[in-house]
Chain A
């Protein structure tokens, strides 16, 4: 394989005089198991293997991807022709930021290979989670459990001389309880909605997730929500738990700090950003309690890897420090515009896609508070948990999120009362400036999101978000009062 890749790169460089070219090979194995109402819903496996060739000719890009390894030279020539066509509509040649030449191998550290665990054992683990939910709430409409694993073997080779191989493992899963009446349906899930929680890890991650331990609570809360009052509308102090903060960080910090969005690369599709480069070091994004990093090196994060898909090493980048915005996430072409080096966040969804700027692990760093202290500071408000709905505008300013459950806080204490259908809305910097406390590292938790969509053709990225519960003041809750 290595000889074939180097030979094609040599052809592009020496015969066709390209500025730069790289080839990525992706070989991905996936397994997903889901159960519903104590029956197997699906057991599916998938395998994809192919390569993508990216060519820059006179500062113009061409890319071609194929599964046919016997046609690699032809695919390279297709990419070259596409670059020539791009050259017809080019205002400025694309420049790529400098990077080091690297020859290395990276592998996700795991304890138990998730593909080595018998499928029967995995099914029994999921059935047991369902049995516990059902035993605690026999009238549930539906119980669900799922788990999955993924192994991706990647090769990156380029005309600069880099040759990097990586083996990345991902594992994840979750449970859900659904209760319904003739007029309503309510769900609770653990550790998160939308297929649970995911990490770069082995099967040990599934065993340590606490799916069985949390099943009774999830089941009972789903039933209780059916009878609960609807969350009031108005302005309230809120605490968001990490399962909800994950998406809040993702949508209102992760996406707007992507440098390709800032430069308009996604304007025709997903949108742009309210940020611009002149705001770096100046803009008050949040309060002094808000410290957010893009960290592709944090152990277990779903956005953790050795090298990005441009061969740039994984890094930890300070995006927001004490509330002040400092850095974007970047690729080689976008970083070059600012005269910077890439901070290693260009990733492709597979062999048939080009690398674009993607979140790694966008983490809200822990603060100093005990959770009880955050709660004690609220006269009347709520603790919102686990996302169930999300929406944000194309500049990433106006967001609205729905959550699975609201826990009432009164006179500085959780009352035990719950509300259903909670939602809140705000404007990104105004919201983050209203943060007046983040819980300490004891409460800090990573969540993995394996479904971040961006780009055309569509690309789905696997990203992570770490956070601890955080308090926000005077947040607009619900919309029932808008007449």
Chain B
């Protein structure tokens, strides 16, 4: 992985080759070391060191993009010259927004050397052995333990410099018995000592042990309690609707609905990179400082996120949410949902009849304008009756509009969980439609 200085040197080299043009250069340098296990043994164990350089040149209504992983002097020169020659042949297109010029420097270094040590090659194997030792013979474990480090740097011909260095460890495990009763966990950390792999593994094991002798329920409307992992997956799709570009393009379910009471008053959702439970990226892929944006306040959609191009089109300032994809607009990346008043345990205790869902699998929108999503439950579905979990349930498919589901929120848990870069509670939702079974009757 490159150092900050090496990354800046690449940026300076490219900018010299493109003098006279508005140029943005992004350097991404990553090391990923991933130990994957299946059938309670390591089956894939890989390491990569990869650096890529993205060059964007704009002039009036023209823009050209070149990406290269040939980062020696000759490779950078070739890439810069190609970007210029492509620009020259382009007809006029969209008006290109001016490059970011302020602040001049933003740098962040969250790299933790002890984390690198804690999750080194042999330590990952030792940790997995410790986990696997707790399993009874009828159980097998599957998953991955990953250490990664990244140095991202960005600069442009206006002279700004951006740098962020960080590292993280991530763990996911699925425990299964011979009958297919599974439990799943995922956890991550950015500081040494924060990721307790063995404790996380035990959580999945406990759930797998609960997930036995499932009953079959019929398609229909149910009250559901979605655990944070299920909520995070759901809200990731919902969050994509808060792109200012999508709303302008009339592709979002929020088209014509901003400022209205669309969701339950219980729901407040913020995109906040400063929240300690997210891994902050304080600037976006265009170099704009990232803003905190209240997306939903007490059920009312309030804020949208923008990159430079979509902000220019909307006549507003960029909120610093560019993902670096031309024409795609901004995207929320640090999703925080405000907590409710009862713990998940209390919500279960106060529930007469509901289906408790651990997480979802293969979610996709069936209709974006109506926010209709579909997905399968996975790794733990349970029937809650009179305040207690009384049975495991076979996996089911749901098909539901999030405009309705998030209006039908009955409770939000006070305890929240960091899932990826989101920090979310459990949700209790009424009238949630399961539309299909997953069993083969033969």
Given A90-B42, A427-B440, A483-B220: A389 in contact with B47 (beta carbons within 8 A) = no
For B365, list chain A residues within 8 Å (CB): 389
- Complex Cα spacing A34 to B36, Å: 37
Within the complex, the shortest CB–CB distance from A51 to chain B, in Å, comes to: 11
Q: In the complex, are the beta carbons of B93 and A39 less than 8 A apart?
A: yes
Contact assessment for B219 and A482 in the assembled complex, using a CB-CB cutoff below 8 Å: yes
CA distance A137 to B438 in the complex (A): 42
Chain B hits for A356, CB < 8 A: 44
The answer for the CA separation of A397 and B180 in the assembled complex, in Å, is 14
Cross-chain contact of A398 among B93, B366, B368, B376 (Cβ < 8 A): B376
Closest Cβ of chain A to B179, distance in Å, is 13
Is B70 on the interface with A (CB-CB < 8 A)?
yes
Q: Is the interface of B mostly helix, strand, loop or mixed?
A: strand
In the bound complex, CA of A90 to CA of B35 (Å): 12
Residue of B66, B75, B126 near A45 (CB, 8 A) is: B66
The yes or no answer to A119 lying at the interface (CB within 8 A) is yes
- The answer to whether B66 touches A268, judged by C-beta atoms less than 8 angstroms apart, is no
Among candidates B36, B63, B439, residue contacting A456 with C-beta atoms closer than 8 Å:
B36
A397 to chain B, nearest CB (A): 6
Q: How far is the CB of B58 from chain A (nearest CB, A)?
A: 12
Is B161 among interface residues, defined by CB-CB distance under 8 A?
no
What residues of A have a CB within 8 angstroms of the CB of B122 in the complex?
A: 84-85, 88
Please report the C-alpha to C-alpha distance between residue A356 and residue B434 in the assembled complex, in whole angstroms.
34
- Do A482 and B220 touch (CB < 8 A)? yes
Q: How large is the interface on A (under 10, 10 to 19, 20 to 34, 35 or more residues)?
A: 35 or more
Q: What per-residue 1/0 map shows which CB atoms of B121-147 lie under 8 Å from chain A?
A: 110111011001000000010111010
Residues B41 and A90 in contact, CB atoms below 8 Å apart: yes
In the bound complex, do residue B172 and residue A268 qualify as a contact, i.e. CB atoms below 8 Å apart? yes
A82–B121 touching, CB < 8 Å: yes
Segment of B104-112, B273-281, B356-364 engaged in the interface with chain A: B356-364
Asked if A421 is at the interface of the complex by the 8 Å CB criterion, the answer is yes
Nearest chain A CB to B308 CB, angstrom units = 15
Q: 1/0 contact trace for B30-52 toward A, CB 8 Å?
A: 00101111111111111111111
B166 nearest CB across to chain A (Å): 17
Chain A nearest CB from B7 CB (Å) reads 14
A397 lies within 8 A of B438 (CB): yes
Question: Which of B129, B146, B174 is A89 in contact with, Cβ under 8 Å?
Answer: B129
Q: In residues 463-483 of chain A, which contact B (Cβ within 8 Å)?
A: 476, 479, 482-483
* Proximity string of chain B (334-361) to chain A, C-beta cutoff 8 Å, 1 when within and 0 when not: 0000000000000000000000000001
A393-B376, A400-B374, A479-B435 known; A85-B48 Cβ under 8 A: no
Q: Are B82 and A45 in contact (CB under 8 A)?
A: yes
Stretch binding the partner chain, chosen from B17-25, B225-233, B247-255, B295-303: B247-255
In the complex with contacts A43-B65, A394-B376, A91-B40 CB distance below 8 A: yes
Q: Does B378 interact with chain A (Cβ within 8 Å)?
A: yes
Contact present for B90 and A45 (CB under 8 Å): no
User: Is A235 close to B, CB under 8 A?
Assistant: no
Residue of B nearest to A428 (CB): B440
Q: Confirm or deny: B26 has a beta carbon within 8 angstroms of a beta carbon on chain A.
A: no
Taking CB atoms, residues of chain B closer than 8 Å to A62 are 45
Interface stretch, picked from A180-188, A210-218, A316-324, A406-414, is A180-188
Closest Cβ of chain A: how far from B17's Cβ, in Å? 15
Contact B126 A88 (CB under 8 A): yes
Tell me, yes or no, whether B266 is within 8 Å of chain A by CB. no
A61 part of interface (Cβ distance < 8 Å): yes
A183 to B257, CA, bound (A): 11
Q: Which residue of A lies closest to B398 (CB)?
A: A479
Q: In the complex, A357 Cα to B440 Cα: how many Å?
A: 25
Q: Is there an interface contact between A89 and B125, defined as CB atoms closer than 8 Å?
A: yes
Q: State A40–B65 Cα separation when bound (angstroms).
A: 12
Partner of A268, one of B45, B63, B174, B374: B174
User: A244 CB to closest chain B CB, in angstroms?
Assistant: 14
Q: Which of A90-143 contact B (CB under 8 A)?
A: 90-92, 94, 118-120, 123, 141-142
- Give the distance in Å from the alpha carbon of A396 to the alpha carbon of B106 in the complex: 47
Distance of A271 Cα from B68 Cα, bound (Å): 34
Contact indicator A89/B47 (Cβ below 8 Å): no
**Which residues of chain B from 391 to 428 have any CB-CB distance to chain A below 8 Å in the complex?**
395, 397, 399
Q: Is the CB of B91 within 8 A of A394?
A: no
Q: Does A17 contact B (CB under 8 A)?
A: no
* List of B residues within 8 angstroms of A84 by Cβ: 122
On whether the beta carbons of A36 and B438 are closer than 8 Å, the reply is no
Asked if A395 is an interface residue, CB under 8 A from chain B, the answer is: yes
Closest residue to B144 on the A side, CB-wise?
A456
User: When chains A and B are docked, how far (Å) is the Cα of A45 from the Cα of B75?
Assistant: 13
Taking the nearest CB of chain B, how far is it from the CB of A385, in angstroms?
A: 16
Taking the closest CB of chain A, its distance from the CB of B275, in whole angstroms, is: 26
Verify A42–B326 contact, CB threshold 8 A.
yes
B221 interface residue, CB < 8 Å from A? yes
Contact A82 B67 (CB under 8 A): no
Q: Say yes or no for B327: interface residue by CB 8 A criterion.
A: yes
Give, as a whole number of angstroms, the nearest-CB distance from A233 to chain B: 10
Residue B193, interface by CB 8 Å: no
A483 to B219 CA separation, bound complex (whole angstroms): 8
Neighbour of A393 across the interface among B42, B140, B220, B361, CB < 8 A? B361
Q: How many A-B residue pairs have CB under 8 A?
A: 253
Per-residue interface assignment for chain B, residues 148 to 182, with 1 indicating a CB less than 8 Å from any chain A CB and 0 otherwise: 00000000000000000000000011101000000
User: Is A416 positioned at the interface, with any CB of B under 8 Å from its CB?
Assistant: no
**Given known contacts A86-B42, A400-B399, A63 and B47 CB-to-CB distance under 8 angstroms:** yes
B126 engages A265 (CB within 8 Å): no
- Whether B47 and A86, one on each chain, are in contact in the complex, defined by CB atoms closer than 8 angstroms, is no
A270-B237 Cα distance, complex, nearest whole Å: 18
Chain B residues contacting A393 (CB-CB under 8 Å) are 361-362, 376, 378, 395, 397, 438
Q: Scoring B residues 214 to 240 as 1 if CB is less than 8 Å from chain A, else 0, what string do you get? A: 000001110000000000000000000
User: Is there contact, CB below 8 Å, between B50 and A352?
Assistant: yes
Check B142 against A47 for contact (C-beta < 8 Å).
Answer: no
The answer to whether A232 has its CB under 8 Å from any CB of chain B is no
Kindly supply a per-residue 1/0 record for chain A positions 438-454, scoring 1 wherever the CB is within 8 Å of any chain B CB and 0 otherwise.
00000000000000000
Pick the contact of A185 from B89, B140, B369 — CB < 8 Å? B369
Q: Mask for B51-63, Cβ within 8 A of A = 1, else 0?
A: 1100000000111
A1 vs B247: C-alpha distance in the bound complex, in angstroms? 52
- Which of the 9-residue segments A6-14, A64-72, A365-373 touches chain B? A64-72
User: Are A398 and B86 closer than 8 Å at their CB atoms?
Assistant: no
Q: How far in angstroms is the closest Cβ of chain A from B372?
A: 9
Q: How far is the CA of A230 from the CA of B221 in the complex (A)?
A: 22
Asked if B194 CB lies within 8 Å of chain A CBs, one says no
Which residues of A176-203 are within 8 A (CB) of B?
180, 182-185
> A47-B68, A483-B220 known; A397 and B440 CB under 8 Å?
yes
In the bound assembly, the distance between CA atoms of A421 and B372 in angstroms comes to 11
User: Is there an interface contact between A268 and B69, defined as CB atoms closer than 8 Å?
Assistant: no
Residues A79 and B47 in contact, CB atoms below 8 Å apart: yes
A427's nearest neighbour on chain B, judged by CB, is: B440
What is the minimal beta-carbon distance from B353 to any residue of chain A, in angstroms?
17
Q: In whole angstroms, how far apart are the Cα atoms of A170 and B437 in the complex? A: 39
A456 to B35, CA, bound (A): 9
Checking B45, B75, B93, B438 against A40 with a beta-carbon cut-off of 8 angstroms, the contacting residue is: B93
Closest Cβ neighbor of A47 among chain B residues:
B68
Residue of B at shortest CB range from A30? B67
Chain A residues in 8 Å Cβ range of B40:
91
Q: How far is the CA of A229 from the CA of B143 in the complex (A)?
A: 45
**Chain B residues whose CB sits within 8 angstroms of the CB of A52 once the complex forms:** 48
Can you list 26 residue pairs at the A/B interface with Cβ under 8 Å?
Answer: A39-B61, A43-B65, A45-B65, A46-B66, A60-B42, A61-B45, A65-B49, A85-B42, A85-B45, A85-B124, A91-B41, A123-B90, A141-B250, A180-B249, A180-B250, A264-B140, A266-B38, A267-B142, A268-B36, A354-B46, A389-B364, A398-B395, A421-B367, A482-B399, A482-B434, A483-B221
CB-CB nearest 3 A-B residue pairs = A268-B142, A268-B143, A44-B65
Sample of 15 more A-B contacts, CB < 8 Å, known A352-B48, A352-B50, A398-B376: A39-B61, A44-B64, A44-B65, A44-B66, A45-B86, A61-B45, A91-B39, A141-B249, A269-B172, A391-B363, A393-B376, A397-B440, A398-B436, A429-B440, A476-B436
